[in-house]
Amino acid sequence: MTQSASIKPAQERTKAFAEEVRRYLQAHPETKHIDIYLNDVNGAFRGKRIAVDSLLSLSAGCYFPQSVYAMDHEGKPFSQAPGHDEYDEPDGLCLPVAGTLRPCAHDPQHNAQLLLTMKQADGSGYALEPRVVLANVLQKFHYHGLFPVAAPEIEFYLVSKAQQEAPAQGCFYMPVPSDYTAFIEALEQAAADQKLPLSGIVCEAEAGQFELNLKHAKDIIGICESVLALRRLTSIVADKFGYQANFMAKPFSHLAGNGLHFHISLNDRKGENVFASPAEALNEMTQLCLAGMLQTMPAAVAVIAPHVNSFRRLRKNLNEPLFSSWGYNKRSAALRIPCSDDNNRRIEYRLAGADVNPYLAMAVILTGMLYGLENIDSDTLKNSALFAPELPLFQHVAIVEFQQSHYMTESLGEAFSRQWVTHKLSELAWFETIVTQEEAALSR
């Protein structure tokens, strides 16, 4: 690439960002501060606050340490990026992500927020950034002329800080309890202000449990960013009303867990759904994707169930999984074919917990679909039943499955996969050092 060719995209990016800033400040003239941030491997927001006068200068980028992508749940670096020694913490150039300048939930009149993405020296995405991991998987689909479409559903519990028990409402309860009405209306308004594609809020079966539904989107990276933004927004709005929004996969031992479900289909270059077919006679493309996701699912579990707590949601007991392999209109299935007309045929992936990083969850889900398209031929599909291998019910077993899956680790990137394994083994080792009150009580 010539120097003039490389300068042109930078100039266009600067011009586009300046226009986005102009439109935003015209709509929000009292803005004083901008929270600029990256999302780490756990989906947490990592960044800092700058004055509005410095906003335009971000078109040239700013710097954050690469260790942002090597942090545990407490924000402490668990390892360093590959190629750097233990005490080296190099910075990486970070640029604004177009379309993510939004009002902040904390005093939106005066504060805004802006997502950044990290770049390597050659201008490519930083290999350890979850957003980039997903982008690399998507490129493989585009090479095949396929374009994923997805709609996420996020479950969470709304727990009163003053009162730990919430009134039972039952699934799809219509008259939302008055205690929640103000919160729900405020959340809907805040989501609209941030231009997040929230399409509905549904009461779940358990007391105080809700589900956030997002619209189907062709922008897979953008919809994953919306999941993280909406998860954070929900927590902030809940706090204002004296609640805690709990997205943990299994926050209460006696109640249902919180899932992050993805409804997924594939479009061709014409925008037509390649899964379109009768539910009782799924076409070959759908079957191949189902088979691929099932075959790679043991390795995928290490990513879609990223914490020890995640596995409490995935099993009925120590020996029995909660989710079966796949099924039509079956909510206990890991892969569900929901009710729809033939043209809107899709697969619902139900294994991921609500606290997972959505970029990484979608990356492993799509990797499974790719595996089916690239490695399972028609004859093999006809001669084999669609069933899943046995799923790991404990984190260490899942990590081993992930390590041994060359296709999965190569798809997500060797550098990222190595660091993910280091990250999860480190967290698991830390967890095993904790003696709980229940354990202590057993020795009395």
Are residues 45 and 148 both part of a single domain? no
Are residues 299 and 323 both part of a single domain? yes
pLDDT for 171 beyond 70: no
Are residues 156 and 215 both part of a single domain? yes
Are residues 118 and 148 both part of a single domain? no
Q: Which of 61, 93, 126 is the last residue of a domain?
A: 126
Q: What pLDDT shows up at residue 12?
A: 86
Are residues 268 and 147 both part of a single domain? yes
Range of the domain at 301: 135-440
Section 12-31 average pLDDT: 94
pLDDT for 308 beyond 50: yes
120-129 pLDDT per residue, tens: 988 899 999 9
Are residues 209 and 275 both part of a single domain? yes
Centroid of chain to Cα 293:
17
213-256 pLDDT per residue, tens: 999 999 999 999 999 999 999 999 999 999 999 999 999 988 99
Are residues 100 and 200 both part of a single domain? no
Confidence at 82, pLDDT banded by 50, 70, 90: very low
84-115 pLDDT per residue, tens: 445 467 899 999 999 999 999 889 999 999 99
188-212 pLDDT per residue, tens: 999 999 999 999 998 887 889 999 9
Q: What is the CATH number of the domain that holds 65?
A: 3.10.20.70
Query: Which of 1-10, 302-311, 400-409 bottoms out in mean pLDDT, i.e. has the lowest?
Result: 1-10
Confidence at 322, pLDDT banded by 50, 70, 90: confident
Q: Which of 104, 126, 148 is the last residue of a domain?
A: 126
Centroid of chain to Cα 322:
21
Which position has the higher pLDDT, 167 or 313? Answer: 313
Q: What is the CATH number of the domain that holds 421?
A: 3.30.590.10
Centroid of chain to Cα 442:
38
Site of tokens 């309890």: 177
* CA nearest to 43, candidates 303, 369, 409: 303
Are residues 161 and 266 both part of a single domain? yes
Q: What pLDDT shows up at residue 395?
A: 96
Q: What is the rounded average pLDDT for all residues in the chain?
A: 89
Q: Which of 126, 154, 189 is the last residue of a domain?
A: 126
Total tally of structural domains belonging to the chain = 2
Are residues 27 and 76 both part of a single domain? yes
Q: What pLDDT shows up at residue 216?
A: 94
Are residues 250 and 187 both part of a single domain? yes
Q: What pLDDT shows up at residue 35?
A: 97
Are residues 200 and 342 both part of a single domain? yes
Section 432-441 average pLDDT: 83
Query: Is 285 within 8 Å of 347 (Cβ atoms)?
Result: no
Q: What pLDDT shows up at residue 142?
A: 95
Query: Which of 24-38, 164-178, 389-403 bottoms out in mean pLDDT, i.e. has the lowest?
Result: 164-178
pLDDT for 1 beyond 70: no
Are residues 73 and 159 both part of a single domain? no
Percent of the chain with pLDDT over 90: 70
